[in-house]
């Protein structure tokens, strides 16, 4: 049974999908009430188990992107990017609230280009999708990526010493599975690179959420050469990953204009209930003058198979375009594991002379000997301490 407006109100959550309150709540789209569902894991789990996944997904998207209007940084921009957690030297990262500043060379270039250096700078440190492939945009560039985590995720990683491979190796040797707290969150984001190209900016401005961004350039061997690309980037996709249920709760959003500007389209249909919710929430956001009216929920997932045992599929065309017809968020992350002798589990498998991805229930037989990483593949970004 779906949780109704009265139950949501009791949880301190304003349900914007209710027509009776839509007009009034257009004035309150910051949805600070939804924060309760990020700290009260039992309440979030109740919504999931009662088929309230769409409402929960939208509540978190709106909460994370507050303030929904204006140019101030959004809540999630204060979270820690993995580039400041899994350090190249494998050393313990600075504490929460002590996020390292961008390199001085980045700030110097930003000032030269006239960017507002009082706003956050996002280190888009990867150009590889979750499926291991690159995605090109219509401007003949690679789409770029960034992963961030909330404080509870960060604290668990630091306290257990798994910010480097040494710590993950020790846990594997001790047969101690990783087990994040139920209040853990990760964000996986995808970006169209604008840089300083005014023509690209003019095409994307007003359609996408745009931020200051940079990434390190590399030499022929793939090592950073001390130089950077600095400019702007447009948010094309966002996974919101949380753990109110043991197998985590997976929800994915992307911009409605992505097919126009990147070389990927959604190959899976959006469920009718999700499409209906998208229409209501996007209308409210549009009335409030929010850029996030241009984003839609693609789907949610917390089970491996449906009631008939058929594998469930869910993917974001910007973050794992090759997954769309062959895997899902929860199955891909279920195989996150580390072996003290063989390293990280391989997300792909050989099939019919080629490669494919795991679908449906996790391959328990193939995963024997791997210490579970509790669905958190970003741990693979860790380095050996040196």
* Chain segment 76-99, per-residue pLDDT in tens: 999 999 999 999 999 999 999 999
Which of 19-33, 232-246, 250-264 has the least mean pLDDT?
Answer: 19-33
Asked if residues 136 and 262 have their Cβ atoms less than 8 Å apart, the reply is yes
**Pure H helices in 165-292:** 165-173, 198-204, 258-261, 272-287
End-to-end CA separation in angstroms for the chain:
53
219 contacts 231 by C-beta, under 8 angstroms? no
Mean pLDDT of the chain: 89
Please give the Cα distance from 69 to 270 (Å, whole number): 27
In this prediction the pTM is 0.90
Report domain extents, the chain. 80-268+294-381
The token pair that represents 330 in the structure block? 């929860």
Angle 169-241-247 from CA coordinates, rounded to 5°: 65
* Site of tokens 């992350």: 333
* Predicted confidence (pLDDT) per residue in 275-285, tens digit: 999 999 999 99
**By the 8 A CB rule, do 214 and 228 touch?**
yes
Q: Give me the DSSP letters along 111-136.
A: HHTT--TTS-EEE--B---TTS---B
Strand 210-218 to strand 121-123: parallel, antiparallel, or no bridges (unpaired)? Answer: parallel
151-197 per-position pLDDT tens digit = 999 999 999 999 999 999 999 999 999 999 999 999 999 999 999 99
The first and second tokens of residue 320, run together, are 């794992």
What mean pLDDT is predicted for residues 35-58?
A: 86
Q: pLDDT tens digits, residue range 329-345? A: 999 999 999 999 999 99
Res. 129 pLDDT band, cuts 50 70 90: confident
| pLDDT of amino acid 1 | 29
For residue 81, the tally of other CB atoms under 10 A from its CB is 21
What pLDDT, on the 0 to 100 scale, is given for residue 247?
95
Q: Does the pLDDT at position 23 exceed 60?
A: no
Alpha-carbon distance of 302 to 256, in angstroms, equals 24
DSSP state of 264: -
Predicted local distance difference test score (pLDDT) of residue 41: 86
Looking at residue 30, its pLDDT comes to: 40
């Amino acid at each position: 049974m779906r949780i109704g407006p009265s139950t949501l109100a009791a949880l301190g959550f304003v349900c914007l999908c209710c027509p009776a309150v839509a007009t009034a709540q257009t004035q309150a789209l910051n949805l600070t009430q939804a924060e309760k569902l990020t700290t009260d894991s039992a309440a979030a789990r109740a919504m999931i188990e009662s088929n309230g996944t769409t409402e929960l997904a939208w509540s978190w998207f709106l909460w994370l992107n507050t303030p929904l209007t204006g140019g101030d940084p959004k809540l999630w921009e204060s979270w820690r990017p993995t580039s400041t957690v899994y350090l190249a030297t494998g050393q313990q990262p600075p504490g929460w609230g002590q996020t390292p500043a961008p390199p001085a060379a980045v700030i110097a270039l930003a000032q030269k280009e006239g960017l507002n250096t009082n706003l956050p700078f996002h280190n888009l440190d990867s150009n590889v999708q979750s499926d291991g492939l690159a995605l090109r945009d219509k401007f003949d560039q690679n789409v770029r990526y960034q992963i961030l985590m909330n404080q509870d995720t960060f604290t668990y990683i630091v306290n257990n010493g798994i910010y480097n491979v040494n710590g993950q190796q020790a846990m594997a040797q001790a047969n101690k599975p990783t087990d994040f707290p139920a209040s853990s969150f990760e964000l996986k984001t995808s970006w169209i690179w604008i840089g300083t190209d005014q023509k690209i900016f003019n095409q994307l401005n007003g359609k996408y959420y745009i931020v200051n961004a940079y990434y390190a350039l590399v030499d022929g061997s793939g090592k950073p050469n001390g130089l950077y690309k600095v400019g702007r980037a447009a948010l094309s996709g966002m996974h919101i990953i949380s753990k109110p249920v043991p197998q985590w709760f997976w929800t994915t959003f992307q911009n409605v204009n992505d097919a126009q500007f990147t070389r990927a389209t959604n190959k899976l249909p959006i469920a009718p209930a999700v499409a209906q919710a998208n229409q209501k929430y996007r209308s409210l956001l549009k009335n409030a003058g929010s850029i996030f009216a241009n984003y839609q929920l693609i789907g949610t997932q917390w089970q491996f198979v449906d009631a008939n045992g058929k594998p469930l599929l869910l993917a974001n065309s910007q973050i794992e375009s090759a997954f769309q017809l062959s895997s899902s968020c929860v199955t891909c992350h279920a195989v996150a594991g580390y072996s003290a002798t063989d390293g990280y589990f391989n997300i792909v498998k050989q099939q019919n002379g080629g490669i494919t991805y795991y679908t449906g229930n996790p391959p328990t037989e193939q995963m024997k000997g791997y210490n579970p990483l509790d669905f958190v593949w970003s741990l693979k970004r860790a380095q050996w301490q040196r």
